[in-house]
């Protein structure tokens, strides 16, 4: 497996998180889930190519059977987040059915390929194993559709590339050989229990606890996915909920805009501020004027924390397969941002006689993508072993 390329992508409603492994060398990426139509008329040329980072200026055209309109050119990720017509995820979006999934995923994969071959303008890049995730609500019905659309060859053309001569274009042909789809939350359990290099069990204690039951609550942008683990295996009957941090992020953005006359370019800009900690919760609507926005942020995070615990409590009470679970684990980027508020809410639940003692693991926002990389490697290993068995029989 050391001579193969793996790509793991957590298709989040706020961020795409990716891990790439090329011949054993790991690369990590994070891209806002944002697209915007590119319009040559309104393109602001930098004074000099050195004034702009390619990652912040990703302008792509995707030629693929997975994309309906192949003529349009889009900003994606950080480039899109700065545009006035930026499109963010709609509530309860269906990832397998939307062009944005493929624009962002192929664009991200092609960007990674481009960094591996910085001197070339036409690149062919093969992904031996791609692992992607879906929320539990979409996993059962749409994983085959997602796999079918991702398989094969796709062309990504980067436009207006800094440092490249006119017409400032780079072309990347992506070949995706095999795909495996994981359920959000279940992938986090893989990352918590398996070593990403040896693929062996690394947390025997957690595996032992799974005999009695574990519930993982993956809190994301537009969904919270609960996965029950029993005897080291996911219990499929725990369904996700259309609830996440984006609605609270949007409320904060609207209130700051109305009360403080400051407009965030995107959810990603505010989320980066939240991740930096309360000392950074200020905006500057005018030069020299600094406004504290924690009074808009804290009530929203508290409200989200209470609803998150309500969902957790409902799931643990109603799911027969994992009744008596001994461990509750919070994962996901939104859970990390609101960890303090969730812990405070849990104290009040305890005082009311309904204790929920949550575990907040290290790197909780990255566990799904780490689990997806493990899933990709395990799937490839299984294929190699199957091929070996066939050749041995032959």
Grade residue 353 by pLDDT with cuts at 50, 70 and 90.
confident
Which helix H or strand E contains 388, and what residues bound it? helix 367-393
Q: Is the pLDDT of residue 45 over 70?
A: yes
Grade residue 240 by pLDDT with cuts at 50, 70 and 90.
low
Give the list of residues 6+ apart from residue 263 with CB closer than 8 angstroms, or none. Answer: 253, 257
Q: Are 162 and 114 in contact (CB under 8 A)?
A: no
Grade residue 343 by pLDDT with cuts at 50, 70 and 90.
very high
Mean pLDDT of 105-133: 95
3-state secondary structure of 277: coil
Grade residue 70 by pLDDT with cuts at 50, 70 and 90.
confident
CA dist list (Å): 124 to 4, 36, 64, 118, 154:
14, 26, 15, 13, 10
Closest C-alpha to 372, from 134, 105, 66 = 134
Beta-sheet pairing, 35-37 with 25-32: unpaired
Q: Is the pLDDT of residue 33 over 60?
A: yes
Mean pLDDT of 282-295: 94
Residue, of 81 and 297, whose pLDDT is higher: 297
| Structure tokens belonging to residue 262 | 């400051």
Q: What is the mean pLDDT of the chain?
A: 91
Q: Are 184 and 225 in contact (CB under 8 A)?
A: yes
Task: Look at residue 152 in the predicted model and tell me its pLDDT.
Answer: 97
Percent of the chain with pLDDT over 90: 64
Q: E-assigned strands of the chain? A: 5-11, 15-22, 25-32, 35-37, 59-63, 74-76, 122-127, 129-134, 152-159, 169-176, 179-183, 214-219, 224-230, 233-235, 282-286, 289-292, 327-331, 358-359
Grade residue 258 by pLDDT with cuts at 50, 70 and 90.
very high
DSSP secondary structure, 165-226, as one string? -TT-EEEEEEEE--EEEEETTHHHHHHHHB-TTT-SB--HHHHHHTTT-EEEEEE-SS-EEE
Q: Are 171 and 157 in contact (CB under 8 A)?
A: yes
Grade residue 93 by pLDDT with cuts at 50, 70 and 90.
confident
| Structure tokens belonging to residue 3 | 């001579």
Task: Look at residue 296 in the predicted model and tell me its pLDDT.
Answer: 97
Segment 315-324, tens digit of pLDDT: 888 777 777 8
Q: Among 38-42, 92-96, 105-109, which stretch is predicted with the lowest mean pLDDT?
A: 92-96
Task: Look at residue 237 in the predicted model and tell me its pLDDT.
Answer: 55
Task: Look at residue 2 in the predicted model and tell me its pLDDT.
Answer: 64
Task: Look at residue 1 in the predicted model and tell me its pLDDT.
Answer: 65
Give the list of residues 6+ apart from residue 328 with CB closer than 8 angstroms, or none. Answer: 214, 215, 217, 312, 316, 356, 357, 358, 359
Task: Look at residue 238 in the predicted model and tell me its pLDDT.
Answer: 61
Please calculate the CA angle 14-186-340 and round it to the nearest 5 degrees.
Answer: 55
Q: In the structure, how many helices (H) and strands (E) does the chain have?
A: 11, 18
Angle formed by the axes of helices 99-116 and 136-150, nearest 10°: 60
Residue, of 169 and 319, whose pLDDT is higher: 169
Q: Residue 157 burial by CB count (10 A; 0-12/13-18/19+): exposed, middle or buried?
A: middle
Task: Look at residue 206 in the predicted model and tell me its pLDDT.
Answer: 96
Mean pLDDT of 326-331: 94
Give the list of residues 6+ apart from residue 241 with CB closer than 8 angstroms, or none. Answer: 223, 224, 225, 226, 311
Q: Read off the pTM.
A: 0.91
Q: Is the pLDDT of residue 338 over 80?
A: yes
Q: Is the pLDDT of residue 236 over 60?
A: no
Q: What is the C-alpha to C-alpha distance for residues 88 and 7, in angstroms, rounded to an integer?
A: 24
Mean pLDDT of 181-191: 92
Ramachandran region, residue 29 (left: φ > 0; alpha: ψ -120 to 50; beta: rest): beta
Q: Is the pLDDT of residue 21 over 90?
A: yes
Task: Look at residue 290 in the predicted model and tell me its pLDDT.
Answer: 93
Q: What are phi and psi of 355, to 5 degrees?
A: -65, 135
């Amino acid at each position: 497996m050391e001579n193969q390329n793996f790509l793991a992508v957590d298709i989040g409603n706020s961020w795409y998180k990716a891990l790439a492994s090329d011949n054993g060398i790991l690369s990590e990426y994070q891209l806002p889930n944002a697209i915007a139509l590119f319009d040559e008329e309104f393109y602001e040329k930098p004074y000099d190519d050195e004034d702009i980072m390619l990652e912040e200026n990703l302008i792509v055209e995707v030629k693929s059977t997975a994309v309906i309109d192949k003529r349009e050119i889009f900003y994606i990720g950080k480039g899109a987040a700065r545009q006035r017509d930026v499109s963010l995820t709609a509530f309860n979006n269906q990832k397998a059915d939307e062009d944005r999934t493929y624009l962002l995923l192929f664009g991200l994969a092609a960007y990674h390929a481009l960094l591996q071959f910085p001197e070339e303008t036409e690149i062919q890049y093969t992904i031996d194993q791609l692992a992607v995730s879906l929320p539990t609500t979409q996993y059962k019905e749409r994983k085959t559709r997602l796999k079918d659309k991702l398989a094969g060859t796709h062309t990504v053309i980067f436009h207006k590339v800094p440092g490249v001569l006119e017409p400032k274009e780079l072309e990347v042909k992506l070949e995706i050989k095999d795909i495996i789809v994981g359920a959000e939350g279940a992938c986090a359990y893989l990352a918590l229990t398996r070593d990403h290099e040896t693929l062996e069990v690394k947390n025997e204690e957690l595996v032992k606890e799974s005999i009695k039951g574990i519930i993982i609550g993956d809190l994301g942008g537009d969904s919270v996915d609960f996965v029950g683990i029993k005897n080291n295996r996911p219990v499929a009957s725990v369904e996700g909920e259309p609830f996440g941090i984006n609605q609270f992020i949007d409320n904060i953005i609207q209130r700051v805009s109305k009360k403080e006359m400051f407009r965030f370019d995107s959810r990603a800009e505010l989320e980066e501020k939240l991740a930096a900690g309360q000392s950074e919760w200020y905006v500057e609507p005018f030069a020299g004027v600094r406004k504290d926005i924690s009074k808009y942020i804290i009530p929203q995070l508290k409200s989200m924390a209470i609803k998150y615990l309500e969902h957790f409590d409902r799931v643990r009470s109603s799911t027969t397969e994992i009744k008596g679970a001994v461990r509750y684990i919070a994962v996901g980027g939104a859970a990390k941002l609101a960890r303090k508020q969730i812990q405070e809410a849990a104290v009040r639940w305890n005082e009311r006689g309904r204790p929920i003692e949550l575990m907040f693991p290290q790197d909780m926002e990255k566990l799904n993508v780490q689990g997806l990389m493990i899933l990709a490697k395990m799937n490839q290993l299984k294929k190699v072993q199957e091929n070996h068995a066939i050749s041995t029989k032959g």
